[in-house]
Amino acid sequence: DTEVTQTPKHLVMGMTNKKSLKCEQHMGHRAMYWYKQKAKKPPELMFVYSYEKLSINESVPSRFSPECPNSSLLNLHLHALQPEDSALYLCASSQEASRQGARGTEAFFGQGTRLTVV
Amino acid sequence: DAKTTQPTSMDCAEGRAANLPCNHSTISGNEYVYWYRQIHSQGPQYIIHGLKNNETNEMASLIITEDRKSSTLILPHATLRDTAVYYCIVFSGGGADGLTFGKGTHLIIQP
């Protein structure tokens, strides 16, 4: 199984709503990531979890709150979002490797959640 | 700062080899060259990576110049399904640092 599964595929939420995006992988990967992608732009890194601990937060506003309940799951909790937060949110995972660039260190991406904030 | 430079877009005829260049003149000795592609409305897909030797897999070949300042991704027999944005990324890999995507090359395969 080389899949990263993201749910839901589409989400429309109001600016006062609270919602969560979910990501799941069963490849035994110990690094998981959230990316944000605006239309016609490249993905931008938001958060990195390594061994279920937050290791990188790319200065993301606090209205985005990540959570890694176990090694297979990654959530992104959303609260009080703005219309400009509308984007494709991508989850990815990769294997931690002691040898840089070793085979198997590539990242696997989910198909994303397309979020629209109204 | 962008670590890689790629052409904004390229066309290639179906069945021909697609050669996608990438400049990475400031690459460090411990950084690998990774290639990913993103087909419209899908998540990015890993293609290949290498350090200094040329690499080949079932999807593509990667040619890295001897000075490592540039590389070329080769899709040997392009099909319409290869139409996508191709990202060249320099990355030390192995850990959990996350990928920094540049603007990539929009490759359009023409029938």
Residue in chain B closest to A102 (alpha carbons) equals B94
Contacts of B16 by beta carbon, 8 Å cutoff, 6+ apart? B77, B78
Of the pLDDT bands very low, low, confident and very high (cuts 50, 70, 90), residue B29 is confident
Q: Which of residues 1-20 of A touch B (CB under 8 A)?
A: 4
Q: List pLDDT tens digits, range A94-111.
A: 987 555 556 667 899 999
Size of interface A-B (CB pairs under 8 A): 78
pLDDT of the residue at A4: 97
Q: List pLDDT tens digits, range A51-79.
A: 999 988 989 999 999 999 999 999 999 99
pLDDT of the residue at B95: 58
Q: Is residue A110 within 8 angstroms of chain B, CB to CB? A: yes
pLDDT of the residue at B46: 94
Nearest CB among A45, A106, A111 relative to B98 is that of A45
Of the pLDDT bands very low, low, confident and very high (cuts 50, 70, 90), residue B78 is very high
Query: Is the predicted pLDDT of residue B1 greater than 60, yes or no?
Result: no
A43 and A36 in contact (C-beta within 8 Å)? yes
Give A-chain residues touching B104 at CB under 8 angstroms: 42
Give A-chain residues touching B100 at CB under 8 angstroms: 45
Label residue A44 left, alpha or beta by phi (over 0 means left) and psi (-120 to 50 means alpha). beta
Backbone angles phi and psi of A13, in degrees to 5: -140, 150
Query: Is the predicted pLDDT of residue B23 greater than 70, yes or no?
Result: yes
Give B-chain residues touching A31 at CB under 8 angstroms: 95-96
What average pLDDT does chain B have?
Answer: 93
As given in the structure block, the two tokens for residue B70 are 């540039």
pLDDT of the residue at B2: 54
Q: List pLDDT tens digits, range B39-76.
A: 998 999 999 999 998 999 999 999 999 999 999 999 99
Nearest to A13 by CA among A81, A90, A74, A88: A81
